[in-house]
Structure 1
Amino acid sequence: MVRNSTIPVYSLRRQMLRMSWNKYNLFNTTQRARIPNDANKTLYQQKWASKKDTRSYHGDQITERQWQSMFKTRLPTANTKVGGVEPHPPVFSLTFAEMERRLDFIVFRSNFAPSIYAARQLVGHGKVTVNGKPMPYPSHRVTDGDIIQVEPTSVSTLKKATPKEGDEESAAAKAPMEFIPKPFSQPFLFVPDYLEVNYNTCSTCFLRSPISRPGKTEIPSPFPPQMHALAYEFYARNRK
């Protein structure tokens, strides 16, 4: 599913959620907080609607053919003891887990870019390396233990400290960069468990694939597991 370029990304009418810190996206997220009432829809209509909504967030810039090549019917999970106190969330919430290995997703999840679109630009412009080597392909999928690094000067939330009056230019150039959060970004500033981020070096280690644990699901998503389950069933039944 590739987003229609003629429709605004953050349309307040359609309220399609995106991987972005944009203020309109935050508004749309608050408006879509409740599970939709699909009592009058057929099962297929529910699956299609869930597929459309979840894909608008999870990789709207990825074509259906690209996504079908990544989609796995067998979903990862963590081993759990029988009779645990906390309920185990549905593993269907990991439907889009394979996307989290993409380089542009990792740059965004690490909070180095304000949107998935900005993350793609950083990668495409050669501002990102994988294990010390330039990697200009946003679709590149990393392996466990890979180190992803972004040029600090390209991180939108890092700014050079304003030099004080009388400071030499050389001293000002060596001054550490300051973290200045963007407006409306606070609800999105967190790091999932499968990433280890070092903000001193603007680098991230991809530890492992996201998994489902008792009481939590690791992939950040504005949609409940029920919608992911319907989207999974849509793709599993229509897989070519």
Structure 2
Amino acid sequence: QKVRATWNKYNLYNLWRLRAQFTARQTYYQQKWEAKSMTRAYHGEHIAEKKWQRMFSPRASAVVSFNPEYLATNDGSEFAAGRGSGKEVISKPGDKKIGPRKNYIPFMNMTYAPIERRLDMAVWRAMFASSARQARQFVIHGMVKVNGKKMPHAGYLLNPGDMFQVDVDRVLYATGASKTVSQAKSGRKLRKVQSRAKKLGAAPKKKKSVAPTAVSSTSAARAQPIAKTKVDIDEVRRQRRLDLRELLVQIDDVLKDKRRRVGAKRKITIRAFVRDVRLAMATVSRKTEKELDDQLSSLISQLAIAKAGHDESSTTKEPVSKPAGPSPEEQMALREAIKEARENPVDASKAYATPWRPRPYMSAFAFIPKYLEVNHNICSAVYLRHPQVRKGMAEVPSPFPEHTQQLAFNWYLRRGR
């Protein structure tokens, strides 16, 4: 299978299976065609071949780096001194020897540099979409702005200094984990309620009477947040039940730990904690979101108390003191967890799983090219300059080796300008 421009887990497996092109039994034409086929599957597979052939240019922008010490010392006249091609300067013993491969500039790795200027490819390179096709869909549907204006053309070529931004919800949907079955059901239920409330609010506008319109619009405005709140609180309660079950699992691990001896007084504390958790699970459906948060924080503090300390009565004859409260570090961790839960709440109306978390297998594709400056907090990026090639490096990201890139370049060279 070919490697595509996507974060799919199957594509990651194909990337792991990618091997160098076997050219021993192929003609030069077959080598070039296979290299073109492999590279085009990754670089702009959604672009028509004729259109890409018009975009291709054999001329790549390169940067030749000079030694600033050499430029400050000489003015170029030394090349006219001495015999032949110039005066040879014997290198100092401390100078680093530069091999021929380090001075090599891989021009042919810039074959697909014109595609990197496209708006949809820049959106994908900035990690605002999970694939190049999804980035193209965002652009066509009007979710991307360039320099503050909506740009519905995926093939728009960015210029140095252009800023583009993507709708935040779309980025969270593209880069976040997918919903579970229960979350998807809650989302569908919420959308039905919202659409029904919207119809009830829009229907009375056709009548000319003023009083019924005002009453119906007021009732619809009341019904919509009530219905939304009902679905949201159901999702929060379901999440709190899962949290309480996790607390029971943790305290059960404490009892099963054979390395620690659980004394009688500690068992009494643990049993009291288990009773409180089970009582909280029985009363989850009758409490508000704030009461559930306060109850969960209180139970987490009790869990820290129940897990802290050892049974010292078996080793010392001194009476066991009352267990101390949570340490300042534990209190700080608890506050951070509650703050994170409030900043990243459970919302069934979103198209992605909440609380938001990154999609699986995302770390293998998490990189930003040098020609982009990205701010993921506001989902905006700046196209700094065109991709460039320099000694030993080309700025066009590609999973293919240099030999394959050279063959692909030679395939398009006779068809380019």
The two structures have a TM-score, normalised by structure 2, of 0.49
Q: Which has the higher contact order (CA 8 A, sep 6+)?
A: 2
Is 1:54 equivalent to 2:39 in the alignment?
Answer: yes
CA displacement at 1:65 relative to structure 2: 1.3
My pick for the range that moved more, 205-214 or 178-187, is: 178-187
Higher helix proportion: 2
**Is the aligned partner of 1:222 residue 2:399?**
yes
**Is structure 2 residue 175 aligned with structure 1 residue 157?**
yes
AA in 1 matched with 2:134: A
> How much has 1:179 moved relative to structure 2?
6.1
Asked whether the 8 Å contact 1:123–1:138 carries over to 2, the reply is yes
In structure 2, which of residues 37, 41, 49 is the aligned counterpart of residue 64 of structure 1? 49
Aligned residue for 1:27?
Answer: 13
Rounded Cα–Cα distance in structure 2 between residues aligned with 1:179 and 1:144: 33
After TM superposition, the structure 1 = structure 2 runs for residues 91-106 of structure 1, keeping only pairs within 5 Å, are 91-106=107-122
Q: Which residue of 2 aligns with 1:166?
A: 290
Q: Matches of 2:144 and 2:59 in 1, distance apart?
A: 31
Q: Which residue of 2 aligns with 1:11?
A: none
Instruction: Give the distance between the partners of 1:224 and 1:209, measured in 2 at CA.
Output: 22
Equivalent residue, structure 2, for 1:10: none
Residue type of the alignment partner of 1:41: Q
User: Could you say which residue in structure 1 is the equivalent of 2:384?
Assistant: 207
User: Mapping of 1:159-198 within 5 angstroms?
Assistant: 165-166=289-290, 175=343, 180-198=357-375
Write the deviation string for residues 169-203 of structure 1: whole angstroms up to 9, x where unpaired. xxx9x946976221111110110000000111110
Counterpart of 1:143 in structure 2 is 159
Kept in 1, the 8 Å contact 2:118–2:155? The answer is yes
Contact persistence 1:71–1:98 (CA under 8 A) = yes
The CA deviation string for residues 141-168 of structure 1, in whole angstroms up to 9 with x for no partner, is 1100000100111112369xx989329x
Match of 1:132 in 2: 148
Following the alignment from structure 1 to structure 2, what is the Cα–Cα distance between the partners of residues 235 and 79? 25
| Matched-pair contact (CA < 8 Å) for 1:35–1:224 | yes
Give the alignment partner of residue 121 of structure 1, picking from 109, 133, 137.
Answer: 137
| Distance (Å, rounded) in 2 between the aligned partners of 1:213 and 1:24 | 33
1:84 Cα shift? 5.2
The secondary structure found in structure 1 opposite 2:374 is strand
Identity of aligned residues (%): 42
| SS of 2:122 mapped into structure 1 | helix
Q: In structure 2, what residue type is equivalent to 1:237?
A: R
C-alpha RMSD of matched pairs (Å): 2.4
Show structure 1 runs of 5+ residues with no match. 1-14
Superposed CA offset, 1:189-232 (max 9, x none): 11000000011111010011111122322111110121111111
C-alpha distance in structure 2 between counterparts of 1:196 and 1:189, whole Å: 14
On the 8 A contact 1:157/1:179 being kept in 2, the answer is no
Q: Does 1:73 align with 2:73?
A: no
Other-structure match for 2:22: 37
CA contact (8 A) 2:33 2:408 kept: yes
Aligned-residue offset at 1:92: 0.5
